[in-house]
Chains A and B, each alone.
Chain A
Amino acid sequence: MRWLFIKDLQILRRSPLLVGLLIVYPIAIALMIGFALSSPPGKPKVAFYSGVAPGKGTISFGSQKINVSDDASQLLQSITPIRVHSREAAIAKVRSGEALAALIVPADIPQQIQSLVSTGVGSPTVELILNSKDPLERQFADQAINARLADVEQAVSKQVLRVAVSDLQQVLNGGSIQFLGQNVPLLGLRNSRTVLRGTIASLPPGSPLRVALQQVVGFADLAIQGLSFASPVLGSIGTPLTVNRTELAGSTTPTDAYAVAIAVIVSLMFLALLLAAGMLAIEREEQTYLRLVRGLISPGRLLSEKIGLAAACAGGVTLVMAACVSAFVHLEWGRFPLWMISLALAALAFGALGVAIGALAREVRAASLLAFLMALPIAFVALVPANAVSGGLQAVLDAVAFVFPFKAALQAAGNAFNGSAPGIGWPLLHLAILTAVFWVIARISLRRFAQ
């Protein structure tokens, strides 16, 4: 078997273009996937025009003033704004393609908000103009701006509520307000009730004012009780949703390490699948299969040699890749033996899948194409997050992910690199079982080679 192994290495050495492509292509794909997964979304370029003059973004509410411009500045955090000086200039930026969208804030937006806050009437409106040429970019810009608009709405709402609650407290407990430049004291309901009770106590028992004042005190009691409940109710509206986060037991994979694990396993998958499928199919294409199995080597040992070759190449390359990446992303070198075990078993499982594909195909090109076509869906199915789709579809995806090595390989590598949950035992066992199953499938499929 070692002579066949050496022969295959000789063939690979004589095909530098193929070997180069086999190494560079999956690494490029893996790096792109890893980069996409680990990088935060970019900021879309948005033309921004605000008609609100500087210093005019303040609205009055009750006794206080709110600067909505401060809150609106949050909007600019999620975009790369291109500031322009007119609505027309903003639209021109979108038309020229320089900006994905234009966000136009009308000059009367403070008045619109003032009207809504004071009277409950009106609908403050900003204008968003999107570039409709590219639906993906349009969706990207739309989502980025809408998410921030919701933040702005909530921030303004919170400020209004904070002022409302403050004024309410003054009505209840008293205080002071600024009126025409003068500091005017407010008595408040509780103080009024105390004053009234003192007044009632000082009145003669038969005084007719007692009954009237007692009615006012009764009203004050009811108002105090009602308004005391109002503050927390208003506060809860100002913060409509509180997220209580709980981490389940067990460590989680850091995003960067998870991206590295994905990148490494994607590379390993492509290398092992393509090598194993191609090298087995070569035996058929070169007409050598029948010559070999005619007493020189058994079909089972031939399969094992191809799996071993693919696993050695793919495992070696991806181990080096992980070691290089660890210079930039924290991976636990103390778990290096587990890196080797997990990558070796993953490479064997993908190698076995590769020979199963190679046994089904009649020539190298067909085997390579088949392996390539299968690789990406296998990866994507395994990467669909739990609960991202409906229950029935999730069950189907889980079943598909279970019968291919990607998910188990990813779990094993994730654990090996950072000790993340789940443990490494079950994924390794899963990979070993898949290796055996695909070996058997390949062995059965090889019977077609003899025909």
Chain B
Amino acid sequence: MTTVAATGPPSSTLTARSLTKQFGARTALSSVSFELSVGELVAVIGPNGAGKTTLLSILAGVQRATSGEVTLAPERIGWVPQQPALYSKLSVAENLRLFARLEKLADTESAVERMLTQTDLEQRAGEEVGRLSGGNQQRLNIAIGLLSEPAALLLDEPSSSLDPRQRERLWTFVGGLAGRGTTVVFSTHNVAEAERYADRVIVLADGELLFIGTPPELEGTVGGDPRDFETAFVRFLHSRGH
């Protein structure tokens, strides 16, 4: 299977080289390679079981690849798991303070203030996380991933449990991060979201990287007159035997 690499990044921050992950006899990722540039917003899309979460886990350092390497150290990568990884009995500020201390940040309180401001959660700082809406929990989840001001941020299906209004606010926030130079990689089932917000998309299927490029470039590979990006994506998968 040939990987389509439509465009190359001008200055790379995160590079994956021949990442392979085996679970027993099953291959979850098969020699996946790519380079991401500074401030780039990249979506990882693919059918269920494609290896999206496994790829993000390996990039984050949560799982070890069977072979291959990631150029950026895990300490310089922020990771936001699919489910909010927060202590529901602690307040917003207490969660931020705890992780800031565990990150051994020089100035804990200013880091907490900065993240409260960035996520627009100042008014909810003293509120128990368990009482927050799903959208606010996700914002705090992302804020914790950003505490150490990482060079790259990995988001595993960040919008899956949000309503349209919360999704809109999330992408505005994430877009702002990328605009400030943070490389953002997110996985999603919602290909329309990928088309709308991502600079480039990585298409995975059965652990193989099938495509990396802009959404229009993906549409261009299938030719004809696809009604929308989702149709083009499905056609692309069919054309590759998936």
A: residues with CB less than 8 A from B are 3-4, 7, 10-11, 14-15, 282, 286-288, 290-292, 294-297, 450
Contact = CB atoms under 8 A, between A and B. Distances in A.
B61 A10 contact: no
A287 B81 contact: yes
B87 A286 contact: yes
A9 to B, nearest CB: 11
A287 B83 contact: yes
Contacts of B61: 294-295
Contacts of A3: 98, 101-102
B22 to A, nearest CB: 14
Interface in B78-97: 79, 81, 83-90, 94
Contacts of B85: 286-288, 290-291
A282 B89 CA distance: 11
B233 to A, nearest CB: 29
Nearest to B23: A451
B88 A294 contact: no
Of A4, A14, A282, most buried by chain B (CB within 10 Å of CB) is A14
B75 interface: yes
Which secondary structure characterizes the binding site on chain B?
A: loop
A301 B28 CA distance: 30
Contacts of B229: none
Nearest to B100: A3
A394 B115 CA distance: 62
B79 A7 contact: no
Contact of B89 (A15, A287, A295, A296): A15
B74 interface: yes
Contacts of B101: 3
Contacts of B74: 294-295
A223 B85 CA distance: 101
Given A3-B102, A286-B88, A296-B102, 14 more contacts: A4-B98, A7-B90, A10-B89, A11-B89, A15-B89, A286-B85, A286-B87, A287-B84, A287-B85, A291-B99, A294-B61, A294-B79, A295-B75, A296-B99
- Nearest 9 interchain pairs by C-beta: A287-B85, A296-B102, A291-B85, A14-B89, A3-B101, A11-B89, A287-B83, A288-B85, A290-B62
